[in-house]
Amino acid sequence: MLPAAHRIRRSAEFHAVIRRGARAGRRTLVVHLLLRGDDDLPRFGFVVSRAVGPATVRNRVQRRLRHLVAARLDQGDAAADRPGGAGALVVVRALPAAARAGSPALKADLDSALDAAWQRARRQRPVGAGG
C-alpha cells in the first residue's frame, strides 16, 4: 500500500503536475513529473479514465500501479537523485493498453517513463526555486 504521505490528493496539485511537469509516454501509461524546490517526500497520483475500461478494470489497473510505485519506494528509490525522488510530484496516467498489459510490461513501462520524465524535469527549473 502506498502511504498517505506519498499520495497527491488535491486537484490543484494534479493540474499543476499535468500542466507544468515533464512528460514521458509509453505504450501503457504516461508519467508527468514536476520537481519542487524542497526536500519533501515524493508524492504520487494516479489517473485512470473510463477509456481504460469499466470500473472494476480501472480499479485493478490503479491498484497495480500503486503497488508498483510502493515497491519502488520500498527499494530506496526515494533518494533525491533518483526518479520519483525527494521533492517530486508524479502523476501516472494509465492508457487503455494498461488494462491488457501484464505486470512485467507495466513495470517496465513505469520504470522507463519515470526515468525519462526525471531526466527531462532535471533540465527544467524546479517549481518554487527563486530567480
In a domain, 88, yes or no: yes
Report residues of the chain scoring pLDDT below 70.
39, 76-86, 125-131
Number of structural domains found in the chain:
1
CATH code for position 114: 3.30.230.10
In a domain, 128, yes or no: no
CA distance 19 to 21: 6
In a domain, 131, yes or no: no
Q: Note whether 69 and 92 are within 8 A (CB).
A: yes
- Burial of residue 15 (CB within 10 Å: 0-12, 13-18, 19+) is exposed
In a domain, 67, yes or no: yes
In a domain, 127, yes or no: no
The whole-chain average pLDDT of the chain stands at 88
In a domain, 93, yes or no: yes
In a domain, 29, yes or no: yes
CA distance 22 to 73: 20
Q: Which of 110, 101, 22, 127 shows the shortest CA–CA distance to 73?
A: 110
Instruction: Find the domain containing 91 and state its range.
Output: 4-122
Q: Note whether 122 and 37 are within 8 A (CB).
A: no
The per-residue pLDDT for range 101-120, each reduced to its tens digit, is 999 999 999 999 999 999 99
In a domain, 130, yes or no: no
Total-model pTM = 0.87
The per-residue pLDDT for range 40-52, each reduced to its tens digit, is 788 999 999 999 9
Quote the pLDDT of residue 131.
47
